[in-house]
């Protein structure tokens, strides 16, 4: 019951006061599945890209974080080819920083920030991470190319 009322409140806020560049809505057929879109930030290699994400809200939400993954391929050191995201707020302590006071809007904003500021020291994709660290121009070129190929509408 707590999950349903909290989710309803969060979705209302996401619909009426969405964070800039983020939209989120409920899957028409499943109550525990949401979809989101994040616009690539200005002055990032993801600029003008529209990235689709899937959000699965667990039974124990908000005591357990939602599972969020990219459906749109993205060239990023902290996001793997399956769309999984390496971000502390998406994991429970002790390894993660999830707290019940966080919400889906906060998580999507954190993912948007991660897109603009990758963390090459905690990579999911080691090769992209070392490219980001040691050959940033090539990384930016590849990331722009992927954005044009996969995230342009």
Task: Return the active site residues.
Answer: 86
Other Cβ atoms within 10 Å of 75 Cβ, number: 23
Instruction: Measure the CA–CA gap between 2 and 119, rounded to whole angstroms.
Output: 34
Q: Which helix H or strand E contains 6, and what residues bound it?
A: helix 2-16
Strand locations in the chain (E): 22-26, 33-39, 50-56, 67-70
78 closest CA partner among 46, 32, 102: 46
Phi, psi of 77 (to 5 degrees): -65, -25
DSSP states along 31-72: TTEEEEEEEPPTTSTTTT-EEEEEEE--TTTTSSPPEEEESS
């Amino acid at each position: 019951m707590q999950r349903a009322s909290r989710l309803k409140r969060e979705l209302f806020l996401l619909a009426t006061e969405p964070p800039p560049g983020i939209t989120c809505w409920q899957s028409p057929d499943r109550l525990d599945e949401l979809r989101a879109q994040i616009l690539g930030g200005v002055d990032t290699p993801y600029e003008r890209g529209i990235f689709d994400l899937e959000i699965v809200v667990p039974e124990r939400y908000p005591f357990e974080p939602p599972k969020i993954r990219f459906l749109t391929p993205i060239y990023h050191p902290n996001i793997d080819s399956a769309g999984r995201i390496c971000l502390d707020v998406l994991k429970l302590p002790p390894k993660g920083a999830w707290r019940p006071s966080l919400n889906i809007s906060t998580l999507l904003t954190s993912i948007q920030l991660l897109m603009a500021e990758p963390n090459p020291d905690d990579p999911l994709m080691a090769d992209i991470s070392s490219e980001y660290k040691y050959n940033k121009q090539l990384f930016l070129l590849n990331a722009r190319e992927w954005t044009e190929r996969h995230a342009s509408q």
